[in-house]
Amino acid sequence: VLTAEDKKLIQQVWGKLGGAEEEVGADALWRMFHSYPPTKTYFPHFDLSQGSDQIRAHGKKVLCALSGAIKNLDNLSQALSELSNLHAYNLRVDPPRFSLQFLSQCLQVSLATRLGKEYTPEVHSALDKFMSAVASVLAEKYR
Amino acid sequence: MVQWTAEEKQLIAGIWGRVSVEECGAEALARLLIVYPWTQRFFDNFGNLSSPTAIVGNPRVRAHGKKVLTSFGEAIKNLDNLKGTYSKLSELHCEKLHVDPENFRLLGDILVIVLATHFTKDFTPACQATWQKLVGVVAHALARNYH
Indicate which of B128, B134, B137 best probes the interface with A, i.e. most A CBs within 10 Å of its own CB: B128
- Output the domain CATH number for residue A93: 1.10.490.10
pLDDT in tens, B51-101: 999 999 999 999 999 999 999 999 999 999 998 999 999 999 998 888 999
Examine the pLDDT at A97 and tell me if it is beyond 70.
no
Tell me, which fold does domain B6-143 have in CATH? Globin-like (1.10.490)
Cα-only R_g, chain A = 14
Number of domains chain A is built from: 1
B117: nearest CB among A30, A31, A112: A112
pLDDT of residue A87: 87
Q: What is the DSSP string of B77-127?
A: HTGGGHHHHTHHHHHIIIIIS---THHHHHHHHHHHHHHHHHHGGGS-HHH
Cβ under 8 Å to B: A residues 11-40: 27, 30-31, 34-36
Cβ under 8 Å to B: A residues 124-143: 124-125, 128
Determine whether the interchain pair A119/B116 forms a contact, defined as Cβ–Cβ distance below 8 Å: yes
What residue segments make up the domains of chain B, in order of their start?
6-143
Range of the domain at A130: 4-142
Q: Which amino acid is at A10?
A: I
User: Is B127 at the interface with chain A, CB within 8 A?
Assistant: no
What ipTM was reported for this prediction?
0.86
pLDDT tier for residue A98 given thresholds of 50, 70 and 90: low
SS3 assignment for B83-97? HHHCHHHHHHHHHHC
Q: Please give the C-alpha separations between residue B30 and each of B43, B55, B62, B92, in angstroms, as whole numbers.
A: 11, 6, 8, 22
